[in-house]
Amino acid sequence: MSPRCFPLLLLACLLPALAGAGERGARIVIDPGHGGAKEGAKGPGELWEKEIALQIAQRLREKLEAAGSEVFLTRERDTQMALSERVEFSNIQRPDLFLSIHANSMPTKRLRERTEGIETYFLSANASGEAARAVADRENAEAPTARSARGHSTLAFILDDLARTEAHSDASRLAYAIHPRLVSQSGAADRGVQQAPFFVLTGVEAPAVLIEVGFISHPQEGARLGKAAYQETLAEAIADGVQAFLRETRRRDSSPSQPVAGATGP
């Protein structure tokens, strides 16, 4: 072989590897809410939010890994994990995105019987409304600063965090990629994409969303959430939304002058 041919042969061998590196799978952290003594909301019978969140997270991991992503769960079992530990764990993995899975609940019998549907949240210092604020307050109950003085509240922590980082700039795009697919594929009521100050979304150095997959307190929807087939539907819809978000992000980043249609919501 001519010595001048060797560099060309070497380049030909390296091209597939270089292309593969450019197309590496996304690193994704899934956070099943609650766990251990922190059981979350109560559903029909002995159904608890912590169980539903973990089961859906495990199904979602299977689908994302099958699509080529590298996936990490903040908890693999029914174990208790502080919200701050979930954020720390996530950032150690250096993820491309973060998904926190929860189930919603209402406090009174009348509201439990009539309130159902899916909500998808991204971080904001200001909640979309009183209902969104109430959801954030419930999920933030385990936060270390939840009972501290107003001047050192979770909200103050969030404001500081938003001032420090721009990692949340794509979170709304991620929420709008996932939410309509969840509603369409599940047939659940559409309670919209919302914004709220969730502690678990603060400090995550990646686009991060919190998904309330339904109201576990609703008699019919709560029962559906406990069924494997419905969990599979939810996991598939979330995975589809994640893949759409990743495709749009790669297209945008490879052609920064070309805007991505519909990337920021309706």
3-state secondary structure the chain: CCCCHHHHHHHHHHHHHHHHHHCCCCEEEEEECCECCECCCECCCCCEHHHHHHHHHHHHHHHHHHCCCEEEECCCCCCCCCHHHHHHHHHHHCCCEEEEEEEECCCCHHHHHHCCCEEEEEECCCCCCHHHHHHHHHHHHHCCCCCCCHHHCHHHHHHHHHHHCCCCCCHHHHHHHHHHHHHHHHCCCEEEEEEECCHHHCCCCCCEEEEEEEECCCHHHHHHHCCHHHHHHHHHHHHHHHHHHHHHHHHHHHCCCCCCCCCCCC
pLDDT of residue 131: 84
pTM above 0.85, yes or no: no
pLDDT of residue 14: 39
pLDDT of residue 153: 55
49 in Cβ contact with 105 (< 8 Å): yes
pLDDT of residue 175: 96
Domain boundaries, the chain: 26-254
Q: What is the mean pLDDT of each run of 10 residues along the chain (266 residues)?
A: 47 39 78 94 92 98 98 97 93 96 94 96 81 79 52 54 59 96 98 90 90 97 97 98 95 69 49
Which CATH number does the domain 26-254 belong to among 2.30.130.10, 3.40.50.2300, 1.10.1060.10, 3.40.630.40? 3.40.630.40
